[in-house]
Amino acid sequence: MMDRSFFTPSCELSLREISELADTPLPADAEPGFQIRGVAPLDSAGPADLACMDNPAYAEELSPTRAGACLVLDRFADRAPAETIAMPSAEPLRAYARVLARMFPEAARPQSNFDPGGVSPLAAVHPTARLSQDVTVDPFALIGPEAEIGVGAIIGAHAVIGPRVRIGSDCSIGAGATVTNALVGNRVALHPGVRVGQDGFGYVMSPKGHMKVHQLGRVVIHDDVEIGAGTTIDRGSRRDTIVGEGTKIDNLVQIAHNVVIGRHCVIVAQVGIARSTTLEDFVAVGGHTAVAPGLRLGRGAQIAAHAGVMTDVPAGGRWGGSPARPMREFFREHATVKSLAARRGRGAPRGEETR
């Protein structure tokens, strides 16, 4: 059963309000004023809860649910029990997300872990730093000289905001994060342990030793970016490292110096993007993928998980494998190797397969 002790709904919603948020009609026999008090999974929802069924894999959990209402894939709406108001949708998860945003707004980004009521006397704020109104700074956070923090921002415990860093309005900097040499836009969420603005890994290699190349650039993060826990983004050397508007980065991602990431990209956990690579708008990179230096991934490209990208990827390309190549080519090669292995197994003398 879902433990709801950490997230309390900020409001109740009527079925009519949910219908409007979800852009889905109510059944004729539904009571528009019926109040939904919370959300829960299908198997633990009660009569005052809203549930969501967005995947056919959960179809068997729909008929026994006790949820008061359920946002459900169109073709499964007739499987809901009579006591549950089925609200059919082509995209129930998107509709559910809109409801969650209304009922649980604080769950969208890191919040204060102490007291969301101003600057803690245990925080260290330099006299030349400028904090706008309604800023929350938790104990043991540090805000350096000439740093600027925008309206409504939250700075978590033990976070470090370096000298001359600018943080925009309604940002959330999680506990233990560090932000140096960076300009951060509005409504940006950095989860705990994020590292932004440290120097990149740049050396002139030599048999006599390796000479460090000083990294003098910045990190520029545009509006509405979210960066997951433990991710590192190095500052630029020859140019700024840039993260474009609306991009979402998962936990444990490494972004090297001079990388430029476009708007609304999605980068999944344990991706490593090497120096000076450019991702154009709406690129999606699957987990545990490595991208070599100096490449360009075209607009809308999709890279499958566990790929090794060693050449440029054209706009709209769907690539996978290591070295990465178009998915159709990757699957054809895989099928060929599988077929050859099967034929060899059938044609080998008895006992050879086990040698």
What are the pLDDT digits (tens) for 102-158? 999 999 999 999 988 899 999 999 999 999 999 999 999 999 999 999 999 999 999
Q: Are 68 and 48 in contact (CB under 8 A)?
A: yes
Q: Which of 257, 264, 288, 306 is catalytic?
A: 257
Q: What is the chain's Cα-based Rg?
A: 25
- For 6-26, the three-class secondary structure string (H helix, E strand, C coil) is CCCCCCCEEHHHHHHHHCCCC
Tally of CB atoms within 10 A around 341: 10
CA distance 76 to 63: 10
Interior/surface letters 169-184, b for 16+ CB within 10 angstroms, e for the rest:
bbbbbbbbbbbbbbbb
Please indicate whether residue 257 is annotated as part of the active site: yes
Kindly report, residue by residue over 56-101, the tens digit of the pLDDT: 999 999 999 999 999 999 999 999 999 999 999 999 999 999 999 9
The pLDDT value recorded for residue 355 is 45
Residue 280 DSSP SS3: coil
Q: How confident is the model at residue 338 (pLDDT cuts 50, 70, 90)?
A: confident
Q: What sign does the CA torsion over 204, 210, 211, 217 have? A: positive
Strand-pairing partners, residue 285, are: 267, 303
Q: Which domains does the chain have, with CATH numbers?
A: 13-108 (3.40.1390.10)
Is it true that the peptide bond before 92 is cis, omega within 30 degrees of 0?
no
